[in-house]
Structure 1
Amino acid sequence: MRQGRPTRRLGGMLAAALLTLSSGVVAQPGADPDQEERFDCRSLAERGPPDTALGWLERSLWANHCYEFQARAVRIGGDGVRSLALSHDVVEGVEREVARFLDGPAVVFERRGRIGRLSWAEGDAPAPASPAGIAEHLEGLYRLQLSGEERLANRNTIRLDIEPLDGMRYGHRFWLDTATGLPLKQILLDEQGRVVETFQITELRQPQLHQGEIGVDRRRARPQDPWHPAWLPAGFIPQPVETRSARHDDDIGHRVYSDGLATLSLFVEPVEGPDQLIPGMHRLGVSHAAVRHRELGGRTRQVVVMGELPPGVLLRVADSVEWQVGDEGGMP
Structure 2
Amino acid sequence: MDRKLLQGARAYSLGRRLLMGWLCGVASFALAQAQAQPAASTERSLSEWLDRVHAAPRRHNYIGTIVVSSNAGAMSSARIWHACDDDERQVERIEALSGPPRSSVRRDNRVMTFLPEQKLVRVEYHESLSRFPDLFRSGGAAAVAELYTVRPAGTDRIAGFETDVVLLAPRDAMRFAHRVWTERRTGLVLKRQTLAPDGAVLEQTAFSELQLDVPLRPDRLLKQMQPPPGWRMETVQAVRTTAVDEGWDLKPAVTGYKPVACYRRGSASGAMQCVFSDGLASVSLFVEPAPEPSAQHEGALAAGATHTLTRRIPGWSITAVGEVPQQTLRAFAQSLERRP
* Structure-2-length-normalised TM-score: 0.68
Offset, 1:160: 1.4
Greater shift in the superposed pair: 153-162 or 11-20 = 11-20
Show the counterpart of 2:75.
81
Distance 1:265 1:228, change over 3 A: farther
Instruction: Flag structure 2 segments of 5+ consecutive residues without an equivalent.
Output: 23-31, 36-44, 110-128, 218-239
Select 1:103's aligned residue among 98, 105, 124.
Answer: 98
Show the counterpart of 2:134.
129
1:229-308 residue pairs with structure 2 within 5 A? 229-240=250-261, 243-245=263-265, 250-272=269-291, 279-284=298-303, 286-295=305-314, 300-308=315-323
Show the counterpart of 1:170.
176
State whether residues 265 and 271 of structure 2, in contact with CA within 8 Å, keep that contact through their aligned partners in structure 1: no
| Aligned partner of residue 185 in structure 1, secondary structure | strand
Which residue type is aligned with residue 235 of structure 1?
G
Which residue type is aligned with residue 200 of structure 1?
A
Higher RCO by CA contacts (8 Å cutoff, separation 6 or greater): 1
Offset, 1:116: 3.7
Distance 1:86 1:178, change over 3 A: same
CA distance in structure 2 between the aligned counterparts of 1:161 and 1:88, rounded to whole angstroms: 27
Give deviations 1:276-304, integer Å, cap 9, x for gaps. Answer: x9841123454111111114xxxx21111
State whether residues 68 and 207 of structure 1, in contact with CA within 8 Å, keep that contact through their aligned partners in structure 2: yes
1:35-54 residue pairs with structure 2 within 5 A? 51-52=33-34
2:25 pairs with 1:69: no
Select 1:13's aligned residue among 9, 27, 30.
Answer: 9
Offset, 1:108: 2.7
RMSD over equivalenced CA pairs, Å? 3.6
| Aligned partner of residue 98 in structure 2, secondary structure | coil
Which residue type is aligned with residue 201 of structure 2?
V
User: Matched residues, percent identical?
Assistant: 26
Give deviations 1:52-102, integer Å, cap 9, x for gaps. Answer: 368497344542454221111222113522222111123644322222221
CA distance in structure 2 between the aligned counterparts of 1:278 and 1:172, rounded to whole angstroms: 31
CA distance in structure 1 between the aligned counterparts of 2:205 and 2:192, rounded to whole angstroms: 5
Which residue type is aligned with residue 129 of structure 1?
D
2:200 pairs with 1:181: no
More helix by share: 2
CA distance in structure 2 between the aligned counterparts of 1:285 and 1:152, rounded to whole angstroms: 22
Distance 1:17 1:76, change over 3 A: closer
> What is the count of residue pairs matched by the alignment?
273
Distance 1:262 1:65, change over 3 A: farther
Which residue type is aligned with residue 15 of structure 1?
A
Show the counterpart of 1:35.
none
CA distance in structure 2 between the aligned counterparts of 1:16 and 1:304, rounded to whole angstroms: 14
State whether residues 60 and 176 of structure 1, in contact with CA within 8 Å, keep that contact through their aligned partners in structure 2: no
Which residue type is aligned with residue 233 of structure 1?
V
